[in-house]
Structure 1
């Protein structure tokens, strides 16, 4: 996995785009922190790649919610308690 900076993108874009097919993924950083994943796309696999990325994001979000639930001692709520929590949250919007 190769890291490239926002500055690299501005100063040597051709070099970065040329290395992308070989690297297969680049991590874009700003001030040393990762901010984006750059991956090659083709016309034939655009939808498949987008679906895979969106699925991975959804799975990660679910995992984070589950971990938060465990940390906050909410993992043992009954269905009624869950429905009440949802109802209260909707009312507060």
Structure 2
């Protein structure tokens, strides 16, 4: 995987677009931190690619929620405690 800076993207876009199909993925960085991912797509795989990215984001969000839940000790809650939490959340959302 190739890393490129925002500056590289601004100053040499033609070179980057030319390399992208071969590289398959390029990470754009700003001040040394990753901020975006470039990946080649076409009309034929646009929806499939977007769907895959969205699914991966959702899976990462679930994984993060599970980790936070474990840190809080929620894995030791009884069914009654879980149902009480659900009831409270539903009342608050009304």
The question of a shared fold, defined as TM-score above 0.5 by the shorter chain, is answered with yes
The aligned length equals: 93
Q: Distance in 2 between matches of 1:84 and 1:7?
A: 52
Distance in 1, Cα, partners of 2:10 & 2:45: 27
RMSD of aligned alpha carbons: 1.7
Which structure's residues are more often helix, by fraction? Answer: 2
- Give 2:10's aligned residue: 10
Gaps of 5+ in 1: none
Residue matched to 1:75? 75
| Partners of 1:58 and 1:69 in 2: CA distance | 16
Q: Which runs of 5+ in 2 are unaligned?
A: none
Which residues of 2 match residues 52-67 of structure 1 at below 5 A?
A: 52-67=52-67
Residues 38 and 83 of structure 1: CA distance in aligned 2, closer, same or farther (over 3 Å):
farther
SS in 2 for 1:29: strand
TM-score (structure 1 length as normaliser): 0.88
TM norm structure 2: 0.87
**2:30 counterpart residue number:** 30
